Amino acid sequence: MPESYTTIKPRFIEIMDSTLRDGEQTSGVSFLPHEKLMIARMLLRDLNVDRIEVASARVSDGEKEAVKMICRYARQIDRLQSVEVLGFVDGHASVDWIVDAGACTMNLLCKGSLRHCQEQLHKTPEEHIADILSVVDYAHSKGVGVNIYLEDWSSGMKDSPEYVYQLMDSLTSHLSPLTSHPSITRFMLPDTLGIMNPLQVVEYMRKMLKRYPEVHFDYHAHNDYDLAVSNSLAAALSGAKGLHVTVNGLGERCGNAPLSSVQVILKDQFNAKTSINEEKLMDVSRLVESYSGIAIAPNQPIIGDNVFTQVAGVHADGDQKGGLYHNPLVPERFGRKREYAMGKTSGRANIARNLQELGLELTPEQTQRVTKRITELGDRKEVVTQDDLPFIVSDVLKHDVTEDKVKLVSYQVSLAYGLKPLANVKVEINGQQYEGHSSGDGQYDAFVKALRKIYKEYLDRTFPLLQNYAVTIPPGGRTDALVQTVITWQMPEGKVLRTRGLDADQTEAAIKATIKMLNIVEK
């Protein structure tokens, strides 16, 4: 096995992100050209990824337009060499497509196993090698650099290693007729079917490097056995100079190695250096989540909503006593902060941390009463957040806290077939009652628009912007199930606030979350 990472001299690992090519092969994902441009901009400019693979040649006119947009931008920031396009062994067709799109680097997809060569192409190794070299020479004549993918390399090393070596011997010895230098920049070794484990990666990578010590090898993992990150680390430990990743682990079948996880494991477990700006990992993950429609799991390492949230009270107590439950993955490293969620296992230490952050000072007896109420809520499986805490305090300690400053006096929402929903709303704000009415695209939309009118016309104030709206119900599918509505608000000063409402009716739950938000703002 490789020596301990602590004894290895820090080594630079090149990161190639394939979200816009391999990641787009995720079932149901198709990025529009302008979406590809926005993701590429963030990957190159903000995250500082070394290389991005943005498309496959000859797919569609829309794909070519996206590549053109990305290449124009990359040229402006002097990063055109970082933009790569997948090409095929198809004579001049892929090269001409890539040149017309404005790119200058092709990742040429070749067959890395004898089975693929014979059964898919129906060619001998010698014929396939001749076809590859013809494309490589033509690419160089057009000013296009070439990297080689050995598709199904993992199966090739298992079942037909002599074929892999025959291919490598021919390609590594081939010189560009224009420069008399090696004509291929990188050899990229994919585990196309996601069948490898870390021990096999170490074995096969070492064999490749022993035979071709001067070659730049990339490793491309797939996650079918949930080993993409482990295999990527094994490849780096064994001498691979580059790793392929995707944002949020997007990719065909079970996906590819997630960029965020590979980055932190390289830095923390391997002592490696990369170009990645870790503070922007969350931003690019959220952008890709939005465009792809593939939600990030709350417990996804680094980028999930819950990964820096402590629930157990003993953890909060330990954090107050010298950070006993901290590890190197501190949230500030990724532009985030540690949170202390509240539930039946929270304990007083956890509640105290949240109260302290809100600036609420309670006596030990009061804290105990609030803790008891949160435990009761946790037993009913209700979610309790820091935003809920002032209301729980108000409910438990009514004689200690002033009444709500925003009260919903009455409202009426109507829904009729063929007509827009209408809402009439009466609210009391700081003792003064106001009325408003509006139509909307839905009942809740009409309600919010009526509130916006009140805040604008009577109070001359900006109403917070609704940023995200999520609805959940308990499992079981009952028609009378409670509905939990979670709304994320963007405050005028930039602060983000999340409130929840719980009711048997979805609109009523959303209204409760809205009034809760307004009271937090007033208080």
Q: Is 376 a catalytic residue?
A: no
Instruction: Give the separation between CA 252 and CA 22, rounded to whole angstroms.
Output: 7
Structure token digits, residue 131: 């076809």
- Which pLDDT belongs to residue 367? 78
* Residue 408 parent element (H or E): strand 406-414
pLDDT more than 70, % of the chain: 82
- Which pLDDT belongs to residue 374? 74
Averaged confidence pLDDT in the chain: 87
Average pLDDT over residues 246-275: 95
328-345: per-residue pLDDT in tens?
777 777 776 666 666 555
Q: Is 21 a catalytic residue?
A: yes
- Which pLDDT belongs to residue 484? 76
Confidence of residue 242 (pLDDT cuts 50, 70, 90): very high
Phi, psi values for residue 219, rounded to 5°: -120, 135
**What's the one-letter identity of residue 164?**
V
Q: How many CB atoms lie within 10 A of CB 510?
A: 27
Instruction: Give the separation between CA 234 and CA 269, rounded to whole angstroms.
Output: 11
Bridge partners of residue 406, in order along the sequence: 429
Distance between first and last Cα of the chain: 60
- Which pLDDT belongs to residue 475? 58
Confidence of residue 410 (pLDDT cuts 50, 70, 90): very high
More confident residue, 350 or 57: 57
Average pLDDT over residues 446-470: 92
Asked if 101 contacts 69 with a C-beta cutoff of 8 angstroms, the reply is no
Among 42-56, 177-191, 201-215, 249-263, which stretch is predicted with the lowest mean pLDDT?
177-191
5-16: per-residue pLDDT in tens?
444 567 999 999
- Which pLDDT belongs to residue 321? 47
Asked if 260 contacts 297 with a C-beta cutoff of 8 angstroms, the reply is no
- Which pLDDT belongs to residue 274? 97
Average pLDDT over residues 482-506: 82
- Which pLDDT belongs to residue 502? 73
DSSP 154: H
Bridge pairing between strands 217-220 and 186-190: parallel
Catalytic residue (one of 151, 353, 500, 508): 151
Residue 13, sorted as left (phi over 0), alpha (psi -120 to 50) or beta, turns out to be beta
Instruction: Give the separation between CA 85 and CA 79, rounded to whole angstroms.
Output: 14
- Which pLDDT belongs to residue 34? 93
**Is residue 147 classed as helix, strand or coil in its secondary structure?**
strand
Among 96-110, 152-166, 367-381, which stretch is predicted with the lowest mean pLDDT?
367-381
Catalytic residue (one of 21, 51, 186, 500): 21
Burial zone of 103 (CB within 10 Å; 0-12 exposed, 13-18 middle, 19+ buried): buried
- Which pLDDT belongs to residue 400? 47
Asked if 302 contacts 280 with a C-beta cutoff of 8 angstroms, the reply is no
Average pLDDT over residues 362-387: 71
Highest mean pLDDT: which range of 39-48, 178-187, 394-403, 404-413: 39-48
